[in-house]
Amino acid sequence: MSKEVRELEPKAIWENFCNLNAVPRASKKEERVIQFMIEFGENLGLETHKDKIGNVIIKKPASAGMEDRKTVILQSHLDMVHQKNNDTDFDFDTQGIEMMIDNGWVTAKGTTLGADNGLGVATIMGLLASTDIDHPALEAMFTVDEETGMTGAKELDPSYYDGEILLNLDTEDDDELSIGCAGGIDTNTRYEYEQLYSLEDTQAFKVEIKGLKGGHSGMDIDQGRANANKLMARLLTLATSDCMLHSFEGGGLRNAIPREAVAVVSLLRRHVDGFKSHVKEMQEMFAREYDPVETDIRIEITEIDTPDQMVAGEERIEMLHALNAVHNGVFKMSLKFDNLVETSSSLAQVIIKDGVFTTKSLQRSSVESTKTDVATTVRSPFDLLGAEVEQSGDYPGWEPNPDSPILKTMAEIYRERFKEEPDIKACHAGLECGILGTHLPDVDMISFGPTIKHAHSPDECASIESVEKFWGYLLQVLKSIPKK
């Protein structure tokens, strides 16, 4: 399958993307991809470094005739979101991504594709390896751990860089020039609950909510997509009071909208038929509520043996109430930019199992005060429950600069090349630019990239036509970098 992808144009991107996708690169497990990038730079005979946190820096001198232009930092992150469908047999630690072409898009077989941000990395690799492209002096900045904390950006050593312009290749619409982004903070909770021995003469069920679209909890948070954790909490809360809970597991990645959730419950046998009717009614209700955004919501129940222990009844109710109360989705729209989410929260993971109830959620905002507001709102139900609440990983947003010189240059090139206006905007994703700006305060930054859909989910795909458009545009931008 990857052979077909290698034949796509521009080969400078797709061949490097295939090579990169053969290397496992989960966040906080980037050792192999770091070594891969170091060897790539050294094999090209280019100045190559690794800073103390693991970011890789590769420098390339300007091409002939471009020595008097400003130095450009090209930046992308090495890690990718590892997400797969429950029925997909795949080991991210040992296997390379299985890619395929589907009607003009490159996608993966039941897993995330890694286009976020692998296509940006592969693009920079193509430029570093080139021998016939006009470009100024380049400083490639490959950061680590963007997806689970932006550690690479936070711990960046700025002494390696002399560039005056930074091009971040990590947006997901090829007509977009991004000049701002949201900051974020993680809220993680832990609560120990009482377990009781399960009742006798009961029937247990595994309840699965699946078929949701999921997606990026920043870029897709305003799309009206369902959160499997919130749906499961509603289903269990509205079930008969005799519905006993044994476990609840949903979601996983902090920055992905949960697509699936699984709970184990048991009932006295006289309530089984009523519970089955309840599940059917909830599926129909969810389908109506989320039509036409979610078209494949499914709730499946399977009879299983009753586990030995269950959640104590009163605590079951209190934990479900906390889940129902926690905010999920858009919190506030921007009053300054049309159609921009200012503040949001996503309930990324819920686990109720073996006497411990934990949650993970991510709050985002381009305004620091409302980021604090939503973080306080999210923690409040867990504070009332008596849970331990840890809020960490706080990182700043990137304040838009509509007067940016590189923005003016790139917007003009876009108009001339494509005969249309670029979409100049701030985004609700957590780009690294806000953090990088604290290390490199005098650098003029912009973010752009090819079209990628459904990032952070197994439906992730990249437009083949868009990658070619992006590559041609980038080459013209590099050729037009102003003089020092």
d(C-alpha 461, C-alpha 444), whole Å: 30
Nearest Cα to Cα of residue 193 among 379, 389, 390, 385? 385
231, 291, 316, 402 from 420: Cα distances, Å: 42, 33, 56, 18
- Note whether 20 and 121 are within 8 A (CB): yes
N-to-C CA span, the chain: 45
| Mutual angle of helices 228-237 and 313-325, in 10-degree steps | 140
The residues carrying an active-site annotation are 79, 146
- Compute the distance between CA of residue 117 and CA of residue 410 in angstroms, rounded to an integer: 21
Go through the chain and tell me how many residues it has. 484
Close Cβ partners of 206 (under 8 Å, ≥ 6 residues apart): 262, 263, 264, 301, 302, 304
Which two three-digit tokens encode residue 277? 């009717």
DSSP symbol at 327: -
Shortest CA distance to 282 belongs to which of 265, 304, 307? 265
Look up residue 364 and give its two tokens: 């985002």
Cα 161 vs. chain centroid, distance in angstroms? 27
